A = this chain, B = another copy of it.
Amino acid sequence: VRVCLHSRFARVLQRALALVDREGLDSLTMRRLAQALKVSPMALYNHFAGKDELLRAMAEHLAQQIDFSCDHPDWRERIWYCFRSLRAVVRAHPASVRLMEALEEPPLAIFRPLDLTLQALGEAGVTGDDAFRVYFLLTNFTLGQASYEVRGPFKGMDPASALTQGRLGGGAFEHIERSLAFDDWDFDEAFEFGLSVILRGVEQLGRTPSSARRSK
């Protein structure tokens, strides 16, 4: 797919991304997009074969923008940087995850974090299938957490609001009631915490030969 920033192609794409960022993915409609561009709906089909093509172009554009790599000598710092970047994109563009998931074939740029992570993990003594597994762990956590955050400020999914609405009462969820102190809940902290727990586990992994773990 060629990239030409001066083409009408790019202007359409930019409009589409703006619309999605502002009003959500479900608001993106060929007809509404055409209207925003002051053009007939069918005019869009000169630039994109169909809506699928449009979505794919949007995802590609998003993925290419990201710079995952930094050249810190410590592998831990490189992983931190990579997944902080990933999280930042999702937070900046709430629809990005659903956009990627909808694609049959992901944009190439998606493999960048994987490559960087494998390299970093190699230095930590984690290789082969285990390295891939750690990558999946990191990605799923990061994307899951960010999706959750972006879905809305605890849009009904947090125990705090459920409790105050009395929905959790009656002692059926006693441990939630007891632990609840959500005043200072912070997604940034939760993310950093999660990553640190994972990396702590990974560090131990590097110290244990995988043959020893398998035979348990």
The answer to whether A45 has its CB under 8 Å from any CB of chain B is: no
Chain copies in the assembled complex: 2
Task: Please pick, from B115, B129, B179, the residue contacting A131 in the complex, using a CB distance under 8 A.
Answer: B179
User: Residue-by-residue, is A156-198 near B (CB-CB < 8 Å gives 1, otherwise 0)?
Assistant: 1101001000011000111110110110110001100110111
Contact A179 B118 (CB under 8 A): yes
Give chain A's interface residue range (CB within 8 Å of chain B): 35 or more
Contact A179 B140 (CB under 8 A): no
Chain A residues engaging chain B, CB cutoff 8 angstroms: 101, 103-106, 108, 110-112, 114-116, 118-119, 122, 127-134, 136-137, 139-141, 143-145, 147-148, 151, 155-157, 159, 162, 167-168, 172-176, 178-179, 181-182, 184-185, 189-190, 193-194, 196-202, 204-205
- Using A168-B108, A197-B134, A200-B204 as known contacts, say yes or no to A122 and B185 having CB atoms under 8 A apart: no
Contact A105 B179 (CB under 8 A): no
- Between-chain CB contacts (< 8 Å), 18 pairs: A108-B162, A114-B159, A115-B175, A116-B175, A118-B175, A118-B178, A119-B175, A127-B179, A129-B184, A129-B190, A133-B189, A136-B194, A137-B198, A141-B144, A196-B201, A197-B202, A200-B205, A201-B201
A122 — nearest CB in chain B belongs to which residue?
A: B175
CB distance from A210 to the nearest CB of B (A): 10
| Chain B residues, Cβ within 8 Å of A127 | 179
| Chain B residues, Cβ within 8 Å of A143 | 140, 144
A190 — nearest CB in chain B belongs to which residue?
A: B133
The 10 closest A-B pairs by CB, nearest first: A140-B144, A197-B201, A201-B201, A105-B156, A118-B175, A200-B201, A137-B194, A144-B144, A119-B175, A133-B193
Task: Please pick, from B111, B137, B156, the residue contacting A106 in the complex, using a CB distance under 8 A.
Answer: B156
Contact B174 A115 (CB under 8 A): yes
| Chain B residues, Cβ within 8 Å of A179 | 118, 122, 127-128, 131-132
Task: Please pick, from B151, B172, B184, B205, the residue contacting A197 in the complex, using a CB distance under 8 A.
Answer: B205
